[in-house]
Structure 1
Amino acid sequence: MKTLTALTKILLLVMMVLLSFSCDNDDDTVIVDPEPTNTIVELAQATPQLSSLVSALIKYPDLVSLLSESGTYTVFAPDNDAFDALLIAIGQTSIDDIPEDVLKNVLQYHVFTSAAVESSAVTTGSITMANGEDANLVAENNGVTINGSQVTTADVEGTNGIVHIIDSVIVPPSILPIVGTIVAPAYFNKDFTTLIAAVQNANTDILGLLLGNGPSDEGLTLFAPTNAAFEAAGITDVNGADAVLAYHVIDGTIMAAMLPSTTGAAASVPTLGGENIHITNAGGDVSINGTSTVVLTDIVGSNGVVHVIDRTLIPPTQTINEIVGDFAGGNPAEFTLLAAALARAGLADFFAGDGPYTVFAPVDAAFEAAGLDLATINASEPSVVAGILTHHVVKANLNVFSTDLVDGNVTMLNDQDVTISLSNLSVQDAAGSNPEAGLVPSLLNVLATNGVIHVIDKVLLPSNN
């Protein structure tokens, strides 16, 4: 029994020594976090909720290289939901729609290159991001925000910095005023880079105009030309295009259903550039000035609405008289016989009036084919020449564009009718000439400040009856 008791005491003593050693050992143990092994780019690529960010980032090899090399960077990484919300806010369906320079600017605004900043070290204040613009950090009890975007996952460490995942895309201050306005659908879409370049190269008043609410404070309506629309209009240099830009904006928010309906002639609507645009809306496509078609409607912004057009509108700067005179003095010259006929008939100043006039203008070859060369015109009675010329002018003071024309009769200024055939693009005069005059497709809808010219290849002769 004594032996058992002694053995028990020895065992208890051993256990106490072991326990004491174990406790001492625990007190001395230091737990070391594993060193990060992935760069910031690799961290993003390995995080499913950052797949949209990765899709955007890989468009820019220089940014990928920057965030893959050694350094001390802080990246505020928007999650996929944040990018989805951004696309809705800017009216786009894909990151691929956004112009590359705009998207790169946004991405750079999420990178702080001066230090790797842990969330615990954040203090309220501003920091300068990689695009050169400042962002505002706020450190509160409920976490960290940057420009109001909440950090949802903090301190994801990489070999070259720290990633903080955030719940919304932060937009640079230089861009933020555009978001949601009628400028946004164009600014954030690569199909409108020419339009945006024109705005950026214009007087700053133009951008202010487009971001405003219009003179009536009822919003604005922007007819936005695509890149292809500028090409169609032959515009390659957008420097100093202020007047062209203002010619695409009308006061008030005019949805497609509110555009004026027309029959036989265009409806004239004043623009903020001063000159009118002329809208044809006869139940089919809506067209402007006879040359541009509205291809997409009712893109709503916070300060109005956008309708997309397929040809840029160019405001007129000359009267019909001045257009004829310029052509007549050109090289090669055209409309020299029309100018001579106007002078002989005493109508040289007629087309300098207010109008509006719709004129079918014969080329010089048309006069010559009708036996009306310069000598014959000058030898003819003025009243005879006037009788011929007034058979080329629509009687009603209206802007009749090619998109307004329909098959049938049109009464001219001399009170005789011509007959329009759209299928043949022809005009039959009152004399019943054969063949009929043809409309020259490339020279229709020549817009003047006081009307519109359609060029034809034959002189229209009045009836002698």
Structure 2
Amino acid sequence: MLSNLFSTNRRVSGLLGASLIALSVALTSCKDEENPVTTPTPQTITQLVTSNSQFTLLSAAVNRAGLGTTLSGAGPFTVFAPNDAAFRAAGFADAAAINAVPVATLTNILLYHVVSGSVASSAIPAGQTAQPTALTANGTAYVSKATSTSGTGVSINGARVVQADVQASNGVVHVIDRVLMPPAGNILAVAQSDTTLSYLVAAAQRGGTAVTTALGGTTALTVFAPTNAAFRAAGFPTIAAINAAPVATLTNILTYHVVPGVRAYSPTLTNGASITTFQTGTVTVGVTSSGVTVLGKGNGTNASNVTTPDISATNGVIHKIDRVLLP
């Protein structure tokens, strides 16, 4: 009798348990139908920029230039996006400073950060030579990927990518630490427009057509450009003193500051590298966390500091230095 009762109770409990499981599954199914799980649609580049707290100044610039619609288009685009720190380092303290820039000028700068197509960081070849992008809207920019680095390793015109491959629905965004400026001309023209390089320009002109033609040509060059203060410290107190120097002496010195055939942006330089100059002598590069130095054979242990790196020109790159390099 007791045995039959236990058996009956077990059957009832089993049926009750099965019913509860079936009811639970049914309720869960109804709940899923009422609240289906959806995958968020990726933001467009414009939405990504305007919603991200590290891009408040870039967002202001996009709005000022009226490029929001463009960067919401089908694309695909690759945008090298300066963060707020990059804008402040470039002299844009706040949105008011952005809005004070003429629209045409701002548009010209912003479009230089936009590359046609979707370029992932993995597609950029590793190596020390900067490679041209397909094309920005305002000319060619040069990307590189260092083979040994603690960061992403990717840079463009010397600006480092601090966050790579931020995906958008119409392309990809790479966050950079510097605002890119479109080249204002060839190396000679850029130097002529910089009042701190007037002694260098005078020395180039004193060197003759061969020097000025090279600096104003189309062949890629890297120039370590001594400032006026550097020339004065080297014994050229005035431009008149430069014009009084023997042409052969000036040419020998000037060509020692020029590296032919390469755009050597600062992220592509390696510590201890020996670089052959146009003069055929070599200079030694030093790279530390505090900056880049260049040492000439005739400078002993007194290396020159790169005070302003990565000034882009149509035919190369300029690094301002604080000491004349001696062969």
TM-score bracket relative to the smaller structure: 0.7 to 0.9
Unaligned runs of 5+ in 1: 1-80, 91-179, 329-333
- 1:360 is aligned, of 196, 200, 224, to 224
- Which one has a bigger Cα radius of gyration? 1
- Aligned partner (choices 215, 224, 228) of residue 351 of structure 1: 215
| Counterpart Cα distance in 1 of 2:321 and 2:110 | 31
Q: Structure 2 CA distance, aligned partners of 1:182 and 1:370?
A: 50
Contact preservation (8 Å) 1:426, 1:436:
no
Q: How does 1:274-285 map to 2 (within 5 A)?
A: 274-283=138-147, 284=149, 285=153
Q: What is the distance in 2 between the residues matched to 1:436 and 1:268?
A: 34
User: Conserved in 1, the CA contact under 8 Å of 2:183 and 2:314?
Assistant: yes
User: What is the deviation of 1:270?
Assistant: 4.2
Q: What secondary structure sits across from 2:218 in the alignment?
A: coil
* Aligned partner of 1:226 among 83, 95, 106: 83
| Distance apart, 1:421 and its partner CA | 2.1
2:193 aligns to what SS in structure 1?
A: helix
Structure 1 partner of 2:175: 308
Query: How many angstroms does 1:335 deviate by?
Result: 2.2
Residue type of the alignment partner of 1:311: R
User: Equivalences for 1:331-342 in 2 at 5 Å?
Assistant: 334-342=196-204
Measured after TM superposition, the shift of residue 358 of structure 1 is 0.6
- 1:391 to partner: Cα distance: 0.3
Cα distance in 2 between the residues matched to 1:189 and 1:369? 47
User: What secondary structure, in the 3-state scheme, does the structure 2 residue paired with 1:403 have?
Assistant: helix
Higher helix fraction (1 or 2): 2
Offset, 1:193? 2.7
User: Of 244, 268, 292, which aligns to 2:109?
Assistant: 244
| 1:437 matched residue in structure 2 | 303
State the 1:450 CA deviation: 2.1
Amino acid of the structure 2 residue aligned with 1:365? A
Q: Deviations over 1:332-355 (max 9, x none)?
A: xx2232121111111234322123
Q: Map residues 77-116 of structure 1 onto 2, 5 A cutoff.
A: 88-89=40-41
The more displaced of 381-390 and 404-413 is 381-390
Task: Give 1:451 deviation, angstroms.
Answer: 1.5
Which of 187, 202, 212 is matched with 1:320 structurally? 187
> How far apart, in 2, do the equivalents of 1:253 and 1:286 lie?
15
After superposition, the Cα gap between the structure-2 partners of 1:425 and 1:247, relative to the gap in structure 1 and judged at 3 Å, is closer
Q: Which amino acid is 1:277 matched to?
A: A
Contact persistence 2:138–2:182 (CA under 8 A):
no
Counterpart AA for 1:460? L
Question: What secondary structure sits across from 1:237 in the alignment?
Answer: helix
- Residues 249-306 of structure 1: per-residue CA shift (max 9 Å, x gap): 111111121123222x32221443222222220133212222x221222222222112
For 2:292 and 2:85, the matched residues in 1 are separated by 26
| Structure 1 pair 336–201 and aligned structure 2 pair: CA distance change class (3 A) | closer
SS of the aligned residue for 1:343 comes to helix
**Where does residue 24 of structure 2 map in the other structure?**
none
1: CA distance between counterparts of 2:61 and 2:256? 42
- From 29, 32, 45, the equivalent of 1:182 is 45
Contact 2:304 2:325 in 1 (8 A): no
Which has the bigger relative contact order, CA under 8 A and spacing at least 6?
2
Q: Does 1:200 align with 2:63?
A: yes
Question: Which amino acid letter does the alignment assign opposite residue 274 of structure 1?
Answer: N
CA spacing shift, 1:437–1:363, aligned 2, 3 Å: farther
- Would you say the 8 A contact 1:269–1:276 is kept in 2? yes
Identity in percent: 37
Pair 1:381-2:246 in alignment: yes
Opposite residue 427 of structure 1, the aligned amino acid is V
Superposition RMSD on alpha carbons, in Å?
A: 2.5
Deviation at 1:247, TM superposition (A): 1.1
Residue 156 of structure 2 aligns with which residue?
288
Call closer, same or farther: CA 1:337–1:297 in 2, change over 3 Å.
Answer: closer
Structure 2: which 5+ runs fail to align?
A: 1-34
Cα distance in 1, alignment partners of residues 38 and 109 from structure 2: 33
Please list the CA deviations of residues 143-183 of structure 1 after superposition, one character each: whole Å capped at 9, or x if unmatched: xxxxxxxxxxxxxxxxxxxxxxxxxxxxxxxxxxxxx3222
- Which whole-Å CA distance do the structure 1 matches of 2:251 and 2:295 have between them? 19
TM-score for both structures, normalised by structure 2: 0.76
2:267 match: secondary structure: coil
1:371 deviates by: 2.3
How has the CA–CA distance of structure 1 residues 225 and 371 changed in structure 2, closer, same or farther, with 3 Å as cutoff?
A: closer
CA distance in 1, matches of 2:256, 2:205: 16
Query: Separation in 2 of the partners of 1:195 and 1:307?
Result: 13
1:455 has 2:312 as partner = no
Distance 2:59 2:204 in 1: 44
Cα distance in structure 1, aligned partners of 2:71 and 2:292: 40
Give me the TM-score of the superposition, normalised by structure 1: 0.54
What SS class does the counterpart of residue 189 from structure 2 fall into? Answer: helix
Amino acid at match of 2:57: T
Aligned equivalent of 1:209: 70
2:273 to 371, 395, 408: 408
